Chains A and B, each alone.
Chain A
Amino acid sequence: MSEPLLNVRNVTKAFGGVKALDGVGLTLRPGEIHALMGENGAGKSTLIKVLTGVYTPDDGAMQFDGRVIAPRSTREAEAIGISTVYQEVNLVPTLSIADNILLGRQPTRFGFLRKKAIKQRAEVALARLGLKLDVSLPLNACSMAEQQLVAIARALDIQAKLLILDEPTSSLDEREVEFLFGVLRRLRDQGMALLFVTHFLDQVYAITDRITVLRNGAFVGDFAAADLPRLKLIGAMLGRNFEELESADSDPSPAITEKRATFLEAQELGKRGVMDNVSLSIAPGEVVGLSGLLGSGRTETAKMLFGVLPPDRGSLSIAGQRTSIRSPRQAIRLGLAFCSEDRKSEGIIPHLSVRENMILAMQASRGPLRLLARSEQDQIAAHYIRALNIKTASAETPIMNLSGGNQQKVMLARWLAMQPKLIILDEPTRGIDVGAKAEIEKLVHSLRAQGMAVIFISSDIEEVVRTCERVVVLRDRRKIAELSGAEVQPNRIMNVIAHHDE
């Protein structure tokens, strides 16, 4: 085994008392593709930012290429030989491909750019990737995949020994991913070390040699990919015992088929670059969970149903009628409601009062001219503040002054006031305290009792199991299984996520 190229030991980084990294280690060898895995908040991006000099660690040591390093800026990290390609390519879209590859390092003569030399060096860098592009084209004329490759070419030109790829495949289609992987293997064979961050399990096993898992800012383990079964990997990421998972019964019991009139039925919905394929159906009084790891397509499914990201294939019918939903307005008219996980940018209207935030969807469906009487508005606000136990100084307080949990309840009130036939709750309990969590779960049960259909999305598997009678499991942007009745068990869900194609 060759000497390690990068050796990170015991790195700790805290932000205002919260430890984002707590004694994390990472070892990379030349000619190795290494995956960095972990759920949200595991510390992956913090670790990358420490490596690339964006953050300075509070504690710990980093050795690179036999020397102790402490980069203080991305520029310094690049000079050492550590280069990063981010998920959102951060190049200059209007400059040419060649200029992007050499940006900041263009060869000059008497202070003037040497166009020819720039072009040549860019072509050399692309050739190393096995790529032939007209380097004088502006970057924004390229596809996302080509832009990724240009970003990688930039890393090659600076003679990087370590290339960090932060979710490079999340906006690529299958063919493009294949090509990218070919390039990565080629680089590996040239002796480069690659650190690869992704949420797609299949891709991890397709390309990586070793896997380092982080959880809640702590180091869980460094495994050889070949020796780490999927289930064990997921167990490590989610913090569950491997044996416990293994012991769960793994033969599927037949799904319980009940005859209820479906309210919504989606068949093979998909949208290019967003979601591959998902089917689901839901009846009044049913709570269906969407489960899967981060990036598996839970929110995307919700947004396709609600018309935010209208699907470009598949079929949808509501109450037996074939339909297609192109906008939230239309979805609302059909009796749908969507409580977004991104409360801040997709939910609250920050400066408006609690009352105004609550009645907004209802008012929008009445149109601008038929204003809800103020007395009626006050009544609705008072009702939901009491019913959902919302803690606010008054109904006239701007919603931005409320705590996250209370804002969430106002969002719920906004949609409940509409009396929808189907409500989609995307991470309704994220970032709120335990008490409010329990209240929201209770609320979901009472909605079911009232005959409302609920699609419940949560990354907390236990919560999904407690709340839902049926669970659609997603992985890598497609539906891989549907569990119902007694099958709805945390272990089963994780087994399915891990073992689908085996």
Chain B
Amino acid sequence: MMNDPFARIRPWFSGASLLWPVLGLLTLLVFNAIYAPGFFRLELRDGHLYGTLVDILNQGSKVMLLAIGMTLIIATGGVDLSVGSLMAIAGAVAAVLVTQAALPFAAIVGTTLALTAIAGTANGLLVAAVGIQPIIATLILMVAGRGIAMLITDGQIITFEHAPLVFVGNGHLFALPFTVTLVLLTLGVTSLATRKTAIGLFLESVGDNEKAARYCGINTTLVKVVVYAFSGLCAGVAGLIATSNIKAADSSRVGEMMELDAIFAVVVGGTALTGGRFTLVGSIVGALLIQTLTTTMYNLGVPPAVAPVPKAIVIVAVCLLQSEKFRQQITSWFGRRQA
């Protein structure tokens, strides 16, 4: 048969190709190994691991969580712009509850996440039942969400010292930041829920050819509403982390522009914006790529105002490499001698 030296590992990268985001991430790490001494240094203090790599995981956790929800939405051919604002709502609700209500922490978390999931459901209904384009439907909550958060906090920045809520974004578990556990847990549950049931297949069918999926008897409306609700849930968790990080509910800043980072992470990770095949692991790699890039630039002293430029270049490069057509073009430039 074919003489393919990569035949064994190829399936790992097939479907939505994981190869390019992984290569991009490795390139960045190699760059840091050369130019940023101490990048890979890890230190164990009080049983907690510290170091730049740990920071990347910790700080990237919010985008990773958003990207998990966003992946499923993008798989159905949609997009959710409201996740950043939902983070602000989650932060506002949690901060108000911990400072003003004598509720058990589980009830506070439950209420917060239920509210963001309901907001996500509203997005889903606008998209699937009313038929508004996803970008517009979720833009509504993106704009209105911060206002809602402001209403909840009465326009104030609410600070808190509530130990369990502070733990969410700053605590450690198994030597690593607790946020890592949250990401792994969400990733694990979502992977199982999509791949060990038919949910993943339904998502891909709806995104790839919605009409055909409906003719097969798939309840396409329900599928869409569920993914938007789930994305709201993920945004809720990310919002709790962001608020906990700064021990305050800052409605105008929490999660700002993070919806775009999440979309970048998904696209860089290899899930096409047109919907269909998706890869959760790819999106995580994409989120890590973006966070590593941000940290790298911070370490190199690139002014924050300029930072988006190199970020944009990396994103364009990875997206181009994802494209089959572009790769064929490149190989046709360089690959003549092989033929």
Contact = CB atoms under 8 A, between A and B. Distances in A.
A328 B205 contact: no
Contacts of B213: 349, 360
A349 B204 contact: yes
A347 B212 contact: yes
Interface stretch (A243-251, A257-265, A365-373): A365-373
Interface stretch (B180-188, B195-203, B243-251, B316-324): B195-203
Given A349-B205, A350-B208, A352-B204, A365 B197 contact: no
A293 to B, nearest CB: 25
A371 B204 contact: no
Interface in A451-470: none
Given A328-B214, A340-B215, A348 B199 contact: no
Contact of B198 (A340, A352, A368): A368
Interface string B205-235: 1001101111111110000000000000000
B277 interface: yes
A501 interface: no
A332 B217 CA distance: 7
A366 B198 contact: yes
Interface size class of B (residues with CB under 8 A): 20 to 34
Given A363-B201, A368-B197, A369-B198, A351 B212 contact: no
Most buried by A among B198, B202, B277: B198
B325 to A, nearest CB: 16
B21 to A, nearest CB: 19
Given A356-B201, A369-B198, A371-B198, A345 B211 contact: yes
Nearest to B205: A349
A329 interface: yes
A225 interface: no
B145 interface: no
Contact of A371 (B196, B208, B209): B196
A349 B209 contact: yes
A371 B217 contact: no
B276 interface: yes
A191 B214 CA distance: 50
Contact of A349 (B198, B199, B212, B219): B212
Interface string B289-327: 000000000000000000000000000000000000000
Contacts of A369: 197-198
A350 B209 contact: yes
A361 B204 contact: no
B209 A368 contact: no
A328 B212 contact: no
A333 B218 CA distance: 12
Interface in A326-384: 327-329, 332-333, 338, 340, 345-352, 356, 360-361, 363-372
Contacts of A475: none
A347 B215 contact: yes
Nearest to A415: B216
B210 to A, nearest CB: 10
A346 B197 contact: no
B205 A371 contact: no
Contacts of B218: 329, 360, 364
Contacts of B215: 306, 308, 328, 338, 340, 346-347
A371 B233 CA distance: 24
Given A345-B211, A368-B197, A368-B198, A352 B216 contact: no
A328 B217 contact: yes
B217 A329 contact: yes
A414 interface: yes
Given A329-B217, A351-B276, A346 B202 contact: no
A340 B213 CA distance: 12
A366 B204 CA distance: 17
Interface string A306-320: 101000000000000
Given A363-B198, A368-B202, A371-B197, A346 B212 contact: yes
A364 B212 contact: no
Contacts of B214: 327-328
A320 B48 CA distance: 71
Contacts of B208: 349-352
Contacts of A347: 212, 215
A340 B215 CA distance: 9
A340 B196 CA distance: 30
A327 B222 CA distance: 14
Contacts of B277: 351
Given A349-B204, A371-B196, A364 B216 contact: yes
B193 to A, nearest CB: 10
Nearest to B204: A352
B326 to A, nearest CB: 19
Interface of B: 196-199, 201-202, 204-205, 208-209, 211-219, 276-277
27 contacts: A328-B217, A329-B217, A329-B219, A340-B215, A345-B209, A345-B211, A346-B212, A348-B212, A349-B204, A349-B205, A349-B208, A351-B204, A351-B208, A351-B276, A356-B204, A360-B201, A360-B205, A360-B216, A361-B217, A364-B198, A364-B202, A364-B217, A366-B198, A368-B202, A371-B197, A371-B198, A414-B216
Interface of A: 306, 308, 327-329, 332-333, 338, 340, 345-352, 356, 360-361, 363-372, 414
| The 3 residue pairs across chains A and B that have the minimum distance between CB atoms | A364-B217, A332-B217, A361-B216
